[in-house]
Each structure stands twice: as structure tokens, then as C-alpha cells.
Chain A
Amino acid sequence: MRPVYMVSGGVSKFEKARPDATFQKMVKEAFDYTMGDVPRLKPSMIDGSVGSYFSDHFTRQLMAGIMATDYLGLCPKPNKRIEGGGATGGLCFQGAWEAVASGRMDVCVAFGFETMSHVQTWKGNEFIALASDVNFDYPVGGFYSGYYAMMVNRHMHEFGTTVEQLAMVSVKNHMNAYANPYAQKRKKLTIQDVRNSTMVAYPLTLLDICVMSDGAAVCILASEEMARKLTDRPVKITGVGTGTDMMRMADRPHGDVILAPNEKKSDYKNLKYPGVHSFRAGRSAGLQAYRMAGITDPKKEIDFVELHDAYTSSEIQTYEDLALCKYGEGGKFVEEGHPFMPQIDYGLKLKKKGTIPVNPSGGLIACGHPVGATGLMQAVFAFWQIQGTIKKHYGFPDLQLKKANRGLIHSHAGTGTYVTVSIMERGW
């Protein structure tokens, strides 16, 4: 394998609905932005692409990947579609990484999209729920928010996590998005606002849950030689990891915790793992990526994280999977203020604010979750953060971190069935 760099990225603004554009046009918007940011890259220098979208039902169009590819003018070069539920975008990013790392391509475009506005929210929930076992899960629950609500109720039971701690994640991510023009929801909220909003699946309210979106995102990955030619600020991808788990959460086993390098077996004497309170796939993906990137204490060695916060609860669960804190301490981790941005006023008293900012972009909760685009969107926002170009791309400097040399992106599917983690670092 050889080193792989990200050289450019772009996102179409995520919106509730984009009736003015087909999915091809949305991908083209993100692609043109991406190409515009690396003027030295000519279309002839692109060797191929990987495309991602989650559900054929949303597009009612099979082989949509090739339709985006031909709209972008990337035929007759190689392309394939990558799909893995909510982790589709993260898997696509890693698919492009594989194409370059293997030497098959020197420049590879990763594009992803979803057009979820074509059906009503309840129908969209049904399409998403078809990504649960249709013999045993879908006919009983048929609702992912319900599945996650069950997981967090167990988390609260095991560890004492509170609904106010969940709400703090929502306050943080909506407030972060306030200065992100690509985000769908930019709101200043209080913990009370979150708790008083409509209950969807107890204890998760409307503001604990990400929304459906239309949107597209594009990343361009390149070999070291091409990266040096194309940009003065290439971002190196130093670690990739992918984890899996059983589709049915009822099947999750009870065993020993897979230990991170900064943990001991005695930390988890009585914890049955992963149960339905933790994501073994997330831990597995994280540890693979840390090993590859040479990270032994992620909380100290990573500057920021863009993680898959489809639910406020899954953000808290993911802090633990990624070993940003110990299992069980996710609620306390947010309450103390660690994942907040140091420079932003959230209207909350936070003792240890900003030790490791999580979802500086606003995450899925505020940016929206056009599934196939989401994992790539995280890569784009992390890329700009590391490049120090947030002001250039957002129009405001508010969300630029002072220290952003190394970031982690995390994409997550099912109730934790596919999870990807990729580490990105300053490469110049």
C-alpha cells in the first residue's frame, strides 16, 4: 500500500428538498466546487471514481451511480457503487482510499448523494427501516428512532446517562452549525428546548434526531506524487478502519470489551459488552484506524472528531467506542464540556470546555443526513478544518479550530452494523 492524500472537497448545501435539481445535478454542484478548489487538476488527470447512495427506493432509479458518473463526464473511466446503510459515505471514502493505496488509480473521485425529499418523512422512515431484518425486526418496530431509543434506555440504565446530557449534544451541534452555511438546521437551543420538543421515541425528541435531506458531497483522493502537484495543502489519510456487527441488535452478544491501548481489563470488570448499549463495530473500526495511524491515546493525539450523530444518544455512545472516554463515561464527557468548541458560547456552564471538539461542523443533527453524502461531507469538513480554510469555504471564521492538525471521521450504519473510521492529518 502507498500513502493516500485528500486534495479537495466540496458539498452541495444540504436542504430538506431540492426540487430544482436531480441527483446528478446536485453531485455536479459539489464536484464543480471541488474541482474549482484545485485548478491544477484537469479532468484528464482523474483515473476513475467511486459513487455512493444508500437506498434505491429513495431515487426510484437503479444504477444511479453511472448516471452521476456520466453527468460528471467521468465515463469511460472506472466506477463502482458502494453501499452500506448509514455508513455508505464513509465506506465510499475508504473505497477511493483503496483505489489509490493499491496503485490502481493516482487520482480518484469519491461522490455520494441522497434525495430523500421524494417521499414523506414516514415513508422515508419505512425505507430506512427496511435496513433492519425484515423477518424479525421491521414487522415489529419498523422504525430506527425506536431502535436507537431502546439502545439509549439501556445505556441510561447501565451507566446513569441522563436526557439532559443527550440534549447537550443537540445544543452543541445545532450551535456549531450556526456558522456553517452548508448546514440544514442552524439553531440556538437550550436543553429545555430539546426536552420540550415533540417526543418521537422515548426518550428521544425531535431535536435529538437528525433530519432527512437532499444533498451531495465529493472528495478527491490522490497519490503522494499527484497530491504534491495539485495542492500546497494536501491532507494525508493515515488510518482507516471498518467494523461490522450483527444486523439484529437482539443478537448482540455479551462478552469482554475490546480494549483500547489506553485502557485496562480492570476498567470493565462487570460490563457485558457490547450489549445493546455500545457499538462493537465502532470500537473495532476505531482501533484499526488508531493502530494504522500510530495513535495510542486518541483523546490526546486527535485534535477534533466529526462523528455520525444520527442521534444525540449515538454521539455519546460513540465517544466511548472511540475511547475518547471510558465506556459509561460518555454522558459525563459531554456534561463536562470536552466535545464543545472552545471559542463558541453555548449558554452553558462547561468546566472542561473544548478539550476535543466533536462535530465542529454541526454533525448530522444540524447539517442533515442525505445518507450517501454524509460520510463524505464529514471528510470535506475535516479536510477544510485541517487545511485551515474554514473561513474561505464557510464565509465565516467562527468554526475554525486553532489546532486542527489531526482529525477523525466516523460513519455509522444500522444500529451499529457497519462503522468506518478514518484518520486525516496535515500533510504539508
Chain B
Amino acid sequence: MAKIFNKAKKAPRYNPAAKLEEVMTGTTVFNVPFPKDLDALKDMSPIVIKHPYYVEYLHSYGQDSPFFAGLANRKILGTRCPKCDYTYATPRMHCTHCGEETNWVEIPQEGRVHTFTTCYFGSEEFLKETPFHLVLVEFDGVDTLLLARLIGVDGPEDIRIGMKIRAKFRRNSQLKPTDVYFVPVA
């Protein structure tokens, strides 16, 4: 759940807008009330049912696959265009500027915070990880940025644009982009 970031207020702590947390649980219904008079049906309350929906994907990283192999081997791989020399921190196999096929190159493991945020809420998959810090990382000699998590700081007040950060890798690769994350340089 979202957390209150603001500092405690001095005023009395009455909150008439307080609400219980919304959940998706409910009572299983076996009997549905029904009127004798069909004209009354237009006033019937709507029936709302819970419907779970679960899918397992066989998601291929396709031409991006070497990036994930790189993370598993403690390397950040980007791509570089042989024609216009444009270097992508988030790899793409074809240059968006000239259409050439790019080559894999290793990206430095130290960079700077280009911008950042701290998320106190999120999509369901990441809700349990909140609050978490996101950064776009800029690297010397690289034209585009990399989206990553930053750890080792408490809140947004500890993060500065331009601050030096360095890559760390999960020992047990999950083959996800979060196999690499960043920490402040001491």
C-alpha cells in the first residue's frame, strides 16, 4: 500500500475520510433474490462476480537476449551503430537514426543519476517492493540512458541529479533487467 511520505502534522489527527483497504475477497453467493414482477428487474442491483485470470507466457527476449546473458555475467551490454557511432545504453539491434545493424559493446559500470523518483505506490507485481527508487542512468561516452533501481538510500531527499552511482549485480541471476541495480558511490 501507499505510504505517507509527508512529515507528521501538528493538528489533531481526525480523518473523516478514513477508509478500510479495498480487497478482492467476498462472500460466495448461492441464492439470488428474484422478484415476481419482471418490471422490477430494471431496478435490480448489478451482479458483480470475481473472475481470476492467470497466464503463463513463454516470453522470448529475442534479439535483446545477449543483454540478459551479459547481466548474468556481471556486464552491462549496450549497442553501438557502426555507421553513425551512436551508442545505446538500453540496447537495440538496429540503429533508429540510420537503420544499420548495431554491435554489442560493454557499457561502463559507473554512471550518474540523470533523473530519479521514489515510488510509494505501484502496479500489483511491485506493490510489495514499495517504496523503491528508480533512476535513469547516464554513462560517459554513451548517447542514451538506462532505467534501473537505486538502493542504498532512504528517500528522494538522499538522491541528487548528477550523483555518481555504480552498478551491482545479483549473484543469482533472475534473467531480468533488475539483475543489475545501482548504489551510490561512497
The interface of chain A, by Cβ under 8 A from chain B, is 19-20, 60, 120, 122-123, 125-126, 128-129, 134-137, 139-143, 145-147, 149-151, 153-154, 157, 195-196, 198-203, 206, 246, 248-254, 276
Contacts and interface: CB of A to CB of B under 8 A. Distances in A.
B136 A150 contact: yes
A254 B138 CA distance: 12
Given A136-B147, A251-B144, A201 B126 contact: no
B89 A250 contact: yes
A141 B88 contact: no
Interface string B123-145: 11111000000111000000111
Given A19-B48, A150-B134, A135 B127 contact: no
21 contacts: A19-B46, A122-B122, A122-B127, A123-B123, A125-B122, A140-B147, A140-B149, A141-B119, A141-B126, A141-B134, A143-B122, A146-B122, A150-B136, A153-B116, A199-B120, A201-B117, A201-B121, A249-B147, A250-B147, A251-B145, A276-B114
A201 B120 contact: yes
A155 B78 CA distance: 26
Nearest to A146: B119
Contacts of B114: 154, 276
B4 interface: yes
| Interface pairs A-B: 8 shortest CB-CB | A199-B5, A126-B123, A149-B117, A154-B115, A202-B156, A250-B145, A125-B123, A19-B46
Contacts, number: 141
Nearest to A200: B121
Contact of B126 (A143, A196, A250): A143
Nearest to B63: A135
Nearest to B129: A142
Contacts of B118: 201-202
B9 to A, nearest CB: 8
Contacts of A150: 115-117, 134-136
A252 B24 CA distance: 39
A153 B118 CA distance: 11
Contact of B46 (A20, A143, A254, A276): A20
Contacts of A123: 123-124
B121 A122 contact: yes
Contacts of B167: none
